[in-house]
Amino acid sequence: MTARPAPRLPIAAGAALTVLLVVFMIAAPAQAAQRTVYLTFDDGPLDGTSNVLSVLEQEQVPATLFMVGQHVLASSERKALLARAKAMPLVTIGNHSFSHANNRYKAFYADTEGVVADMLKANAVLGLTVKPVPARLPGRDVFRLRYVSRNDLSVGEVQAASEQVDFEFVAASDFDVYGWDFEWFHDGTGKPVQKAERLVDEIARLFAYGHMLEKDKLILLMHDQMFQDKFDGVVNLTALIAGLRARGYAFGHIAGYSPAD
């Protein structure tokens, strides 16, 4: 029995298909490149900060470290970590308060003047003098930028409404306040809950469905202590960056998140 030759597309159809494939291959990376991830790390300088800085330096990607003033004052080693971070051109230092509300958030936000004073005290410790200062409020996923505003409704609408005056006064005190779109969760020991590969898949779904505050821009929240293990910490963060790069995403400086004009 003679084998029947495989059917061939007409020359015109085959040429058209080739053109479509080429267009798709060119357009797909371009579309992905328009999608930007902003890496942010909270609560440093802590034990994991050194590993974070080493990976950022090795991979040459921008990131923002929202630091806590009293953590800087805890030791000379932590002061050195702040100095090291400030010397890295790709790293932006942000204000994450002086006290981190001492982890008593309702009491902290019950005193508007105290909130602003705490943030200004952190500016002095961190040496942040260029205004507006990038900031993240402790325990709150809040945005206050020129064209972007959002309260943290995870605390409930009543609580968010009562705290709104705090957010407005902080923003009026020369701070750009950034929340986040997604978090790399950690357990009680500070280790990441999701593997880097799973996190990248979750981020891809967020981009696909447009579940971000700003179109095609995703702010990722992480914590320095997630990367304190000398081996696993470096491996995990490096794997995340590699996975995001493989998807074609860009890495952004936080100053470019919201248009200035």
Percent of the chain with pLDDT over 90: 83
| Contact between residue 73 and residue 41 where contact means Cβ atoms under 8 Å apart | no
Distance CA 214, CA 178 (A): 12
More confident residue, 8 or 177: 177
pLDDT at residue 260, rounded to an integer? 60
Sign of CA dihedral 221, 226, 230, 233: negative
Identify the pLDDT of residue 189: 85
User: Rounded to two decimals, what is the model's pTM?
Assistant: 0.87
From residue 90, alpha-carbon distances to 20, 33, 38, 226 in Å are 38, 19, 12, 21
pLDDT digits (tens, 9 = 90+) for 91-110: 999 999 999 999 999 999 99
Give the pLDDT confidence score for residue 34 in this predicted structure: 87
Domains of the chain: 37-255 (3.20.20.370)
For position 33, what pLDDT does the model report? 53
